[in-house]
Amino acid sequence: MSRKSQRLSNAAAVVAVGTHVVKSEQARITSLELQLQACRKAMTNAGIDRTDVGAVFTSRAPMSYTAMEWNMRIVNELKIVPRYSSEITVHGAGALGTWQYSAMLVANGLVDYALCCSGAMDRRWVDLVKINAMVEADLQFEAPYAPTTPSLYALWANRYIHEFNAPPEDRAEIAVQNRKWALHHPDAAMRSKGEITVDDVLSSIMIASPLRLLDCSSWYDGGFGGAVIITSAERAKDFEKPVYISGFGQATTHEWITDRMGLWGIEPAMEPNLTTLAVRPAAKQAYEMAGIKPTDLDMVESSAPFTFLNMMVLEDLGFCEKGDGKDFVHGGGIAFDGGLPFNTNGGYLSFGQAPNGMHMAIEALQQLRGEAPGKQIDGAKTGLVHFHGGPAAAHSVVVLSSEETTR
């Protein structure tokens, strides 16, 4: 890690958040309107207007509102004239990548304020089961066989389980603990479904072996739009409860799963396997920039959409050695009572997968500001957010702190 990179630690902060949540029984608005509502709230909460915004970054276009250059739709509707703008498209990891690029801009004085947004109403408009799999499948070698997203991820799951013998009971425990957090969050998709047990997970229907229904993320039937305002640490002193971007990292290993098998001679996998994710180098960069280690974190939020993938993420984030995720989970490592607070809104498994959404990152911000809509973590000061994209292809990691220094 270069000294220049370390200078970026805590040099930028999130100073305002805007969210717009639409439940399944509410109005059928578009994904564009969803994001615009969140953007307007974020700008209002920051006390700035469109003339103050120097950069606009979005994640990729929602599947229900396909458009070239999604950032231009946002810019056009809000009537902003940004100096810097782009659609960050490393699959879903791009949503968190928008924060990273914004931090670099404001920390170097190129703009005063950056606006980042994401969110989608996809499930209300399109068949995500069909469309999402086509986005994540190789058009030549995978898509002709009409895979589902779980069937693609099952390739990863089978290899991981074969290598490390991760029992279904331990993988199921991740779903059980995530559900406990979701029961406290007013917007969680599975809040009304009640608690689940390991036996519930193991007896749920098989989707794509070894993945059962409760091993998989639940779709968010409505929509969750999120937006944040990011500025320099110096300007952040004028705001109430800024959350500092202490460190960040990003890494991408492939596009399609079959591409990954040809990855030789470069981290995170020095041989063609599926057992280590690009989470590892991304997290390493984030930790080094922030000057912390995994045990310094008060919570972790991950977009991992399957139980086994959450286990792999915990390993690659450094909470245990590779292959020991089963022991970490089995030993209460992420227990709702007493373990590492992990996916404190329920995660993709129980809060729901709101495509391109920032809900996991916004949950971290709310926890660090002491404003969690669900169960608040007492004394939370430092948290990590992980976003994935594609079939475990791209990964972004950000370390956040409620204090200006983590060193």
- pLDDT attached to residue 284: 96
- Taking each helix axis from N to C end, the angle separating 307-316 and 168-182, rounded to the nearest 10 degrees, works out to 90
103, part of any domain = yes
Whether the per-residue pLDDT at 1 is higher than 60: the answer is no
Nearest-angstrom CA–CA distance, 281 and 288 = 11
380, part of any domain = no
Nearest-angstrom CA–CA distance, 39 and 17 = 9
84, part of any domain = yes
The stretch 398-406 carries a mean pLDDT of: 87
Q: How confident is the model at residue 143 (pLDDT cuts 50, 70, 90)?
A: confident
The structure tokens 């992980």 sit at 386
**Least confidently predicted of 98-102, 216-220, 359-363:** 216-220
- pLDDT attached to residue 335: 98
Residue range(s) defining the domain that contains residue 49: 3-126+221-229
**pTM of the full structure:** 0.95
Q: How confident is the model at residue 78 (pLDDT cuts 50, 70, 90)?
A: very high
- pLDDT attached to residue 272: 60
358, part of any domain = no
115 strand-pairing partners: 56, 229
- pLDDT attached to residue 308: 98
- Please give the share of the chain, as a percent, with pLDDT higher than 70: 95
- Please give the share of the chain, as a percent, with pLDDT higher than 90: 76
- pLDDT attached to residue 132: 73
The burial class, CB within 10 Å (0-12 / 13-18 / 19+), for 401 is buried
What CA–CA distances, in Å, run from 122 to 73, 189, 349, 390?
17, 15, 18, 17
Q: How confident is the model at residue 4 (pLDDT cuts 50, 70, 90)?
A: low
Nearest-angstrom CA–CA distance, 199 and 196 = 8
- pLDDT attached to residue 291: 96
The stretch 199-222 carries a mean pLDDT of: 95
Q: How confident is the model at residue 239 (pLDDT cuts 50, 70, 90)?
A: very high
Whether the per-residue pLDDT at 389 is higher than 60: the answer is yes
Whether the per-residue pLDDT at 251 is higher than 80: the answer is yes
What's the whole-number average pLDDT of the chain?
92
18, part of any domain = yes
99, part of any domain = yes
Q: How many structural domains compose the chain?
A: 1
What CA–CA distances, in Å, run from 373 to 95, 180, 360, 377?
21, 14, 13, 11
135, part of any domain = no
CATH (domain of 8): 3.40.47.10
- pLDDT attached to residue 25: 66
pLDDT digits (tens, 9 = 90+) for 276-333: 999 999 999 999 999 999 999 999 999 999 999 999 999 999 999 999 999 999 999 9
Nearest-angstrom CA–CA distance, 398 and 11 = 13
The stretch 157-166 carries a mean pLDDT of: 95
Whether the per-residue pLDDT at 370 is higher than 80: the answer is yes
Higher-confidence position of 24 and 234: 234
225, part of any domain = yes
- Which residues touch 123 (CB under 8 Å, ≥6 apart)? 219, 220, 221, 222
Whether the per-residue pLDDT at 95 is higher than 80: the answer is yes
